[in-house]
Structure 1
């Protein structure tokens, strides 16, 4: 994301104030593309990496399959339906039980915090949540809760009410520290040799991990994602030149909490979109972190001037 234009530093929209000819306007648009903002982009968007087109549907997609695995043919007008009394009766589909009106909603989409992290860890214990707990209640958590509710005969609301929570508590154990805060979803990469001295934010694109290192030792690691192929995260050696705890992009008007700027408008920052949807999206060049607790801790330790290494 691009930080506020009022600071006058590293902003892609500064050139918009210059009066000039049509060629100057083209130069400004080029500058915007080079500096690369950091708003999260959904997969398949104009700025995200292209994805395979969805298969087209046909008018017969809702036809019932035949016993041999093919779709059953529509009976002709001359064919009379059987009136045999021995024909088996239609099976009535099970109805979804109504939600308990007395149940208090404890957590729902958009909630975040320690209890959400515990919910995710407990769901993971019994196979309903297949990711590292993030502490953010996004679409993945909603689906996991619906799965748990459906298996236990509860209304599939996707919201964690008091009935759902008590049922989950009875089936799981109190999560350990490692279950609540695993190092990363995927193993952190072997540090680049440029990360082995001093205070370094060491970022691997291949492993999609960030390691905070001091004098060659890994202090903490976390999952990260990057810009799309059209707005790539720059690689090389940089340094943190500005920290902004509650930063909001002046171009996209989206939040960039715990932003640590290292190259123009590109920064390491927390992304609620990454926490909710994982790698189904991309940034406009920033390094997104999905674990808010981990980047909050990192933000307090990093100083202006600390080295940043981004490598393949």
Structure 2
């Protein structure tokens, strides 16, 4: 159940470039028409919502232009099959993005992340958002994050950063984890090269874009509080 367990920070890491800030997810099994990986002519169950999100004419009918725009979105975030079908996971990704945009500069408007602990890193799994606040003052973010997939969910609750490794190497997954800050077992904030919406999610860590992971590294230290709440869509 531990997401990213690693022990060896010897190898040099490089700050990796990140793709896209938007959202992603795959099409659920059985929810897409049986077609090859080419543009589908089938109208999806979320056709109107997807058309509206993409700025297409909202008529609820699949067109070649609709498919092309949907496929481009899917390709950007690793959603497969990349056939332009307006299925549930593509729409879920877009809906998560809309919630992130709506958060604006008041991600803790509902007061779910504690404001009585001073500096604290907050992670909202439902909206796939993270930020740092000091009391009620926003210090950094909110930024999109990529948390644990079904079966290796990022664990909720009050945590503390207990170990930091700037050029971390995961011996479990054999990958670099730049700017790792561990807060619960093998789960940590760290940089990744994937889209923040690439399905199905991480092994439990809170993946971040390189610039955001670096900012977290500079703003946090061992002993700082972390609070994780909510539930990631699809888990």
What band does the TM-score fall into relative to the shorter chain? 0.5 to 0.7
Cα 1:225–1:6, aligned 2, differ >3 Å: closer, same or farther? Answer: closer
**Matched residue, 2:6:** 3
Among 271, 275, 284, the residue aligned to 2:203 = 284
Tell me how far apart the structure 2 counterparts of residues 210 and 6 of structure 1 sit (CA, whole Å).
25
The structure that has the greater radius of gyration is 1
User: In structure 1, which of residues 157, 179, 200 is the aligned counterpart of residue 120 of structure 2?
Assistant: 200
Q: What residue in structure 1 maps to residue 211 of structure 2?
A: 293
CA distance in 1, matches of 2:108, 2:28: 27
**Residue 212 (structure 1) aligns with:** 132
Aligned residue for 1:192, secondary structure, equals coil
Q: Following TM superposition, by how much is the alpha carbon of 1:186 offset from its aligned partner in structure 2, in angstroms?
A: 5.4
After TM superposition, the structure 1 = structure 2 runs for residues 52-201 of structure 1, keeping only pairs within 5 Å, are 52-53=29-30, 54-57=32-35, 140=76, 185=101, 187=103, 188-190=107-109, 191-201=111-121
Contact map agreement 1:195 1:202 (CA 8 A) in 2? no
2:213 is paired with a residue whose SS is helix
Asked if 1 retains the 8 angstrom alpha-carbon contact of 2:8 and 2:168, the reply is: no
Q: Which has the higher helix share?
A: 1
Please report how far the alpha carbon of residue 55 of structure 1 lies from its aligned counterpart in structure 2 after TM superposition.
2.3
Structure 1 residue 212, shift from structure 2 partner: 0.5
Partner of 1:302: 220
Contact 1:189 1:207 in 2 (8 A): no
Deviation of residue 295 (structure 1)? 2.0
TM-score with structure 1 setting the length: 0.43
TM-fit CA distance, 1:281: 3.4
Structure 1: stretches of 5+ with no match in the other structure: 8-41, 45-49, 66-126, 132-138, 142-183
Residues 208-264 of structure 1 deviation map (CA, whole Å, 9 limit, x = unaligned): 111101122111111112111111110000000011111111011112111110000
Bigger relative contact order (CA 8 A; separation at least 6) = 2
Equivalenced residues, count: 154
Mark the CA change 1:6 to 1:296 in structure 2 (over 3 Å): closer, same or farther.
closer
Contact 2:188 2:205 in 1 (8 A): yes
3-state DSSP of counterpart to 2:159: strand
Residue 59 of structure 2 aligns with which residue? Answer: none
Question: How many angstroms apart in 2 are the aligned matches of 1:254 and 1:51?
Answer: 28
Indicate the RMSD between aligned Cα atoms, in angstroms.
3.4
Q: Compute the TM-score of the two structures, normalised by the length of structure 2.
A: 0.56
